Chain A
C-alpha cells in the first residue's frame, strides 16, 4: 500500500540527513508504528508521505502510484492526518472542525452533516452534546477523539498519526488506544503511527519500524522484535523486561475463556450461597451482578461478617473501584490491579456487562508460557 524507496531528506543548512536511504513497505490494512528516540527522523519520514516535507531523494509509492508526481493537495485530501498537539481550529465548533476535509472536497452539506455525526458516534462523542461546542470547552481526551474523527471523516484509506495520544494522562491514553484499536479492527485502514513510547508501539502495531539517526534499524512484527532484536540498540529500546512487554501483545478476551473462575452470584443470592461461592473462590472474594449481568460489586470474606440490614448479596457487596474492558491488554489489567491494590480485576465487555475476572496468577501463567 505504501512503499518508501531510498527515501532521503536533508534539511537546508544541515550536513547530516534527517532521514537516510529509508526503505519500508507497509501492507494494506496494517498499522506500522515508527518508533525511536527524538530526532531519529520518524516524524520527518511521516511528513514526507503526505509531502509536508519534500524528500530530497528516493521515491514514495502509494498503491503503486508515484506520490511525488501527484498534486500534493489531492494527495493530502485522501490521507487522514492527526498530529501531536491535535491542532484543532479554536474558532470552529467541533462539527466544523470535523467537517474540514469534506468542506475542502466540497461535499454536499447534508452528506457532510450525516458523516460528521456518524464519525463522532464512532469515536464515542455524542453529536447532540458536542457538535456545537468549541475546542476550548473539551477535555484533553475529548480533543484527541475529535482529532481522530476529523482525520477519519472522509474515510481515507491511509492515515498518518503523529503521537495522537501523547497529550493525555496514562489512563485516558490506554482507553483511547483500546477504542482506537477497536475502530481499526472494523475499518482496516493502513496506518502509519509515530511514537517514542515503545509500549505504545508494541500495543498498537502490526509491524514496528525502529529508527535511529535517520536510519531504519529493524522492521518486524512486535512479537519478533521482542524475541529477536536486531542489535543492541533495539534490545535496549525494548528494555530488559521483555516478558512484561509481552503483556501488551495479548488481549484479555484471548485468555478469559481459559481462566475458569466460577460464576458471579446474583444480587439476591442468600447468605449460604455466598459462603459456598466464597469457599470455591481462589481470590477470597465473589463478584455480584444484577439481573442484567451488570457488575454490582464484590464481596470479600470479611464483608460477610459485617452486620447489615439485609441478608442478600446485594447488601453485603462493596463497590469495585475500577474495571477493565475485555479488549484491553493484559498490561492494562496489570496497571489496574496495581492501582486498586488487589490481586484481581473484574472484566466487563463493551456493553458494561460482567465478563470474568483475571488475577495476577493468570498473568504470570501467560508470561511463563510465552518465554
Chain B
C-alpha cells in the first residue's frame, strides 16, 4: 500500500517539486530587471499550458492514427504495404524535428495549429511502426492455435494480437512522447508557443536563468510522462 502510494504519488510529486522549486526561486530572485520582466508566474503558466496543449492534441491524434494504421497494415491484405511502410517510417524518423517544423511552416504558415499538425505527423511514426511490428511479431503458432480452435479474425485481433503486442505498442508511445516533448520546444519558431518561448527568449537576451527554467520544465515533463506510462504498463502486463 505504502509502496503503491510512493510509486504513483511520491515519485511524481518529487519530480514536479524539483521543477517548482527552480521556478519559484527564479521568479522571486531575478538576477536583474530583464529577468524579472521576462520570467513571471503568469508567463511560466502560460507556456506550460501551451506546451501541454501541443502535446495533448498531437499525441491523442497520433496515438489514434498510429495504432489504427498499424493494425490495418498488419492485416494480411495490406501486409506487403506494411513492410514497405516500416522502411519509409524508419527513414522519415531520421528527418530532424526542426526540419519537419520548418517544412510545414513553408507549406502551411505560422501558428499553433500548424505546430500541432507537424508534431502529430512526427509522433505517428514510432507508434505506427511499433504497432505494426508488435502485431507482426506475435508468434505464428499462437495465431494458428487460435485459428484452429475457431476464433474469428476480429477476436484474434482483440483477444490475442493486441494484448500480446501491447508492451511494444506502449514502448512506441513512450518514444513518441519523449520525442514530442522535445520537439514541441521548437514550436516557438513557427509561432506555436510552448516552453520553447522561455528558451528562445533566454537565448536572445543572454539570460541563462530563463533558459534553465524552460529546459527543466520540459525535461521533467518528458521524464514524468515516460515514468507514468511505464508504471501503467507494468500494472497491465503481468504475464511477461
Expressed in whole angstroms, the Cα–Cα distance for A300 and B142 within the complex equals 52
Most buried by A among B151, B164, B166, B240: B151
B164 touches A91 (CB 8 A): yes
Contact indicator B147/A76 (Cβ below 8 Å): yes
B239 in contact with A101 (CB, 8 Å): no
Is A136 part of the binding interface, using a Cβ–Cβ cutoff of 8 Å? yes
Nearest Cβ in chain A — how far from B141, in angstroms? 4
Interface centre among A86, A87, A104, A134 (most CB of B within 10 A): A87
Docked pose: A363 CA to B142 CA in angstroms: 43
Chain A nearest CB, measured from B234 CB (Å): 14
A136 engages B149 (CB within 8 Å): no
> Please, which residues of chain B bring their CB within 8 A of the CB of A104?
149-152, 155
What would be 25 A-B contacts, judged by CB atoms less than 8 Å apart?
A47-B148, A52-B148, A73-B150, A74-B150, A75-B150, A76-B148, A78-B150, A81-B148, A83-B144, A83-B148, A85-B139, A87-B142, A87-B144, A87-B145, A87-B146, A88-B145, A89-B145, A89-B146, A89-B164, A90-B239, A91-B163, A101-B149, A134-B238, A136-B239, A150-B149
Given contacts A83-B141, A87-B141, A104-B155, contact A76 B149 (CB under 8 A): yes
- Given A77-B150, A92-B239, A104-B150, do A86 and B145 touch, yes or no (CB 8 Å)? yes
Residue B190 CB within 8 A of the other chain: no
Q: How large is the interface on B (under 10, 10 to 19, 20 to 34, 35 or more residues)?
A: 20 to 34
Query: Counting CB contacts under 8 A, is B178 at the interface?
Result: no
Contact of B149 with A100 in the complex, beta carbons under 8 Å: yes
CB of A98 to closest CB in B, whole Å: 11
Interchain residue pairs A-B with the least CB separation, the first 7:
A87-B145, A76-B150, A77-B150, A81-B148, A85-B141, A87-B141, A134-B239
B160 in the interface, Cβ–Cβ < 8 Å? yes
B103-119, CB < 8 A from A: none
Distance of B99 from chain A, by nearest CB (Å): 39
B149 touches A52 (CB 8 A): no
Shortest distance in angstroms between A153's beta carbon and chain B's nearest beta carbon? Answer: 10
Q: Is A84 an interface residue (CB 8 A)?
A: yes
Q: Mark B39-62, 1 if CB is under 8 A from A, else 0.
A: 000000000000000000000000
Cβ contact of B152, chosen from A73, A83, A84, A92, cutoff 8 A? A73
How long is the Cα–Cα vector from A153 to B141 in the complex, in angstroms?
Answer: 20
Considering only residues 158-183 of chain A, those with a C-beta below 8 Å from chain B are 160
A44 at interface, CB cutoff 8 A: no
A78: chain B residues within 8 A (beta carbon): 150
Contact code string A38-77 (vs B, CB < 8 Å = 1, else 0) = 0000000001001010000000000000000000011111
Known: A104-B155, A136-B239. A89 touches B147 (CB 8 A): no
Name the contact of A101 in the complex, choosing from B150, B160, B240 (C-beta under 8 A).
B150
User: Do residues B239 and A52 form an inter-chain contact, with CB atoms below 8 A?
Assistant: no
In the docked arrangement, what's the CA distance between A350 and B152, Å? 41
For B145, the closest partner residue in chain A by CB is A87
Main secondary structure of the interface of B (DSSP, over half): helix
Residue of A nearest to B162 (CB): A91
Cα separation A107 to B152 with both chains bound (whole Å): 16
User: What is the distance, in angstroms, from A47's C-beta to the closest C-beta of chain B?
Assistant: 8
A52 to B146: give the CA distance in the assembly, Å. 11
Contacting B at CB under 8 A, from A88-114, are 88-92, 100-101, 104
Are B163 and A83 within 8 A (Cβ)? no
CB distance from A6 to the nearest CB of B (A): 24
Digitize B127-159: 1 where CB-to-A-CB distance is under 8 Å, 0 elsewhere: 000000000000101101111111110010000
- In whole Å, how far is A146's beta carbon from the nearest beta carbon of chain B? 11
Instruction: Report B-chain residues with C-beta under 8 Å of the C-beta of A76.
Output: 147-150
A104 to B153 Cα, complex, angstroms:
12
Question: How many angstroms from the CA of A52 to the CA of B150 in the assembled complex?
Answer: 10
* CA distance in complex: A136, B239 (Å): 8
CA–CA, A151 and B149, complex, Å: 8
The CA-CA distance from A92 to B240 in the complex, in Å, is 10
The minimal Cβ–Cβ distance linking B41 to chain A, given in whole angstroms, is 47
Whether the pair B144, A90 counts as a contact (CB closer than 8 A) is no
Residues from chain B with Cβ under 8 Å of A85 in the complex: 139, 141
| List of B residues within 8 angstroms of A84 by Cβ | 141
Docked Cα-Cα span, A20 to B141, in Å, equals 25
Chain B, Cβ-Cβ closest to A73: B150
Nearest B-chain residue to A150, judged by Cβ: B149
- Shortest distance from the beta carbon of A56 to any chain B beta carbon, whole Å: 19
Instruction: List 13 additional A-B contacts (Cβ < 8 Å) besides A90-B142, A104-B150.
Output: A50-B148, A52-B144, A52-B147, A76-B149, A77-B149, A84-B141, A89-B145, A89-B160, A100-B149, A104-B152, A134-B239, A136-B240, A151-B149
- List chain B residues, Cβ under 8 A from A81: 145, 148-149
CB distance from B213 to the nearest CB of A (A): 43
Partner of A89, one of B142, B144, B152, B155: B142
